[in-house]
Chains A and B, each alone.
Chain A
Amino acid sequence: MSGGGIVWRSVSKSFGALPALVDLDLSVERGEVFGFLGPNGAGKTTAIRIAASLARPDRGEVLLAGVPASRAESRRAVGYLPEDLLFPSGLRLGEWARVQIRLRGRDLSRLPHAAERAGLSNRMDGELAAFSKGMRRRAGLLLLLALEPAIWLLDEPTADLDIAGREMIENAIIEAKGKGATVFLSSHILSEVERVCDRVGVIEKGRLTRAAPPADLLPAPFLVDLVLPALPEQPAALLGGRPHVANREARRLRVFVSDRGEGNEVVRALEEGGFPPRETVFRPASLRDALGEVSR
């Protein structure tokens, strides 16, 4: 398993009047695991589909290991797992996997081992039409494990999977990275992205707004999670400009702080301002705290 990275070079794509991607410029280095975050309809799937050459950009291009994605040979290095994995009707898992491996000019030697790792070795003669969504996703993983591609394009790979399935995919991603593969994944599951990704990009309305290692996307390493009797009109004034997320309906305020001492200062400032917290929790901050609003 060896190969290069992925480059989106000024890629734009619209569906009618609706812009799905606007001038996306992004490089994912070889051997890097990159997570793409954003709300539904933000353009994550479009970015992946253009890289997998299932959609054509209106402008710009995607390079896979230096080769334009529009050229068939660029896809030799690619393993793609779509968000909604469907199969040609009437096929059995073993037949489908063999066709796909041969289409890529690979031999079938890794197939039995891949089937075992995906937990599907006793389902190879099973009709794909009877597979549940989770099983279909495992079938997709089976193919990736059998192909060992240099570039993995994963569109919400763990959606609809049980805990064991999620762990299986996460382990496969970490193992692929260890072998030098480049992994690009989109997800709504922030904890998963935080665990496996070297870098995270945030996309909103087709535009990449941030791209950095997960820790750098956090305003501060810790958080004070507070439930108040009512939220102040201008929380920033009371919090001394500290970054925070306010949820008015739940009367909840999450304030990012650098340590416990700063957390205590925040609580005192709220008490002095007439908003004594009913509940206070001090904990490490996560991507969910920082990006929750964009990933919901």
Chain B
Amino acid sequence: MRELAREVFLVFRRGRGFPLSLLLLAGAAALFWIALQATGTFTVNGEPVDLDESARVALAIGLGVRAVSFLILLFLLFHGAGLVLGDAETGRAAFSLSAPISRARYLAGRSAGVLLVVLLFWAAALVLFEILLFSRTGSLRAEIAAGAAVIVLAQALLLGVLVLFRLFLGGGWGAMGALLVWIASAVLSLDLLESSLFAVDVPENVAPWWLPILQPFLGGEPIGWKADLVRAFVRLFPPIGNATSVGIDLALGRPVFPSFDWWSLPGAAVWGGLVWWGSIRLFRRRDW
């Protein structure tokens, strides 16, 4: 498996993806730097906005982390699933697939290679951010790494969705389908949307008998059974966007809000398991 991951890394390193990634990384760092500089000069109606230093830094980190996670989304959409499956689809992997390894290990090895690339991308971005932060504020922020670690979980799930859709629908349609899943998940994770959905309140006395049983698993305070069901649905939907939001909150060093978004992480893990299970089944049943 390690060999397959290494092969993916070598293919990426020598292909067009590498210079493109460097360019994207430079773009993310530039955006972070501009944000760090610009947050001191914000004005509303010509009046300077009163932001203290920590708020400015948090704003810049938020923009930078969002930029990196979005760029990795592009990388995964256009390159990542191809790195996992491309060689098998084009017959270039005939030698590897005739080796005494299971199809599951083949997929795992190749996906591990892509996630290694994603991790390196994040690591490079974090180093750049910390250098820029240190030059601006004279201090470092460990929270950014914690946030990035959580976002990588969401990105592993997205890669699984991409591989599954590509196996099921083919290259272009697969990427389109995965993008739609990501957009839907991101929309559902929006705090505003959640707030408006959860505002549908019903008096507790008309709630069904089973609600108290479910309540501990739903998280948060009871806000009415219909709203609780909507909340559960939001959490059960492939929570790529939710997990990314949690990661960004962590990177900003602020409490994860709303608190029940923590439930996105086990949700992401469960969905990741299902998606990868489906991918392996499709991969095993196909002729290569």
Contacts and interface: CB of A to CB of B under 8 A. Distances in A.
Interface of A: 49, 52-56, 72-76, 78, 80, 82, 84-91, 95-96, 99-100, 102-105, 140, 143, 153
Interface string B220-243: 000000000000000000000000
Contacts of A73: 100
Given A89-B11, A90-B13, A153-B98, 20 more contacts: A54-B97, A54-B288, A56-B285, A75-B98, A78-B98, A78-B100, A80-B98, A82-B91, A84-B91, A86-B90, A86-B91, A86-B92, A87-B95, A88-B7, A88-B92, A88-B93, A90-B10, A96-B7, A100-B99, A103-B101
Residue in B7, B92, B96, B99 whose Cβ sees the most chain A Cβ within 10 Å:
B99
Given A49-B287, A54-B288, A89-B11, A99 B6 contact: yes
Contacts of A87: 92, 95
The B contact surface, by secondary structure, is: helix
Given A56-B285, A86-B90, A102-B3, A91 B10 contact: yes
B3 A99 contact: yes
Nearest to B90: A86
| Chain B CB within 10 Å, residue with most, of A72, A75, A80, A103 | A103
User: Lowest 3 A-B CB distances belong to which pairs?
Assistant: A90-B14, A55-B287, A80-B98
A104 B13 CA distance: 24
Nearest to A13: B287
Contact of A99 (B7, B13, B15, B287): B7
Interface residues of B, number: 28
B100 A54 contact: no
A91 B98 CA distance: 19
Interface in B60-100: 87, 90-100
A174 B12 CA distance: 39
Interface in B1-23: 3-4, 6-7, 10-15
Nearest to B17: A90
Of listed A52, A76, A85, A99, residue having the most chain B CB within 10 A = A99
A85 B92 CA distance: 7
Nearest to A79: B98
A53 B15 CA distance: 29
Contacts of B105: 72
Interface in B273-288: 285, 287-288
A53 B3 contact: no
28 contacts: A49-B287, A52-B98, A54-B94, A54-B97, A54-B287, A54-B288, A72-B101, A72-B102, A74-B100, A75-B98, A76-B100, A78-B98, A78-B100, A80-B98, A82-B94, A82-B95, A85-B94, A88-B87, A89-B14, A90-B10, A90-B13, A91-B10, A91-B11, A91-B14, A95-B10, A99-B3, A99-B96, A103-B101
B52 to A, nearest CB: 49
Interface centre among A72, A74, A82, A95 (most CB of B within 10 A): A72
B100 A105 contact: yes
B15 A104 contact: no
A103 B11 contact: no
B100 A89 contact: no
A75 B95 CA distance: 11
B280 to A, nearest CB: 13
Nearest to A147: B99
Contacts of A96: 7
A100 B99 CA distance: 8
B8 to A, nearest CB: 8
Interface string B104-123: 01000000000000000000
Given A87-B92, A88-B93, A53 B98 contact: yes
A91 B99 CA distance: 18
Nearest to A54: B288
A63 B7 CA distance: 30
A82 B99 CA distance: 13
Nearest to A78: B98
Interface in B177-193: none
Contact of A90 (B11, B94, B96, B99): B11
Nearest to A74: B100
A89 B91 CA distance: 12
Given A73-B100, A103-B101, A80 B94 contact: yes
Contact of B95 (A49, A53, A143): A143
Contacts of A54: 94, 97-98, 287-288
B11 A88 contact: yes
Greatest chain B CB density within 10 A among A82, A87, A90, A102 is at A90
A78 B95 CA distance: 10
Contact of B288 (A55, A100, A105, A140): A55
Nearest to A49: B287
Contact of B92 (A89, A100, A104, A105): A89
A76 B98 CA distance: 9
Contacts of B288: 54-55
A251 to B, nearest CB: 44
A275 to B, nearest CB: 51
Nearest to A50: B287
B286 to A, nearest CB: 8
Nearest to A15: B287
Contacts of B14: 89-91
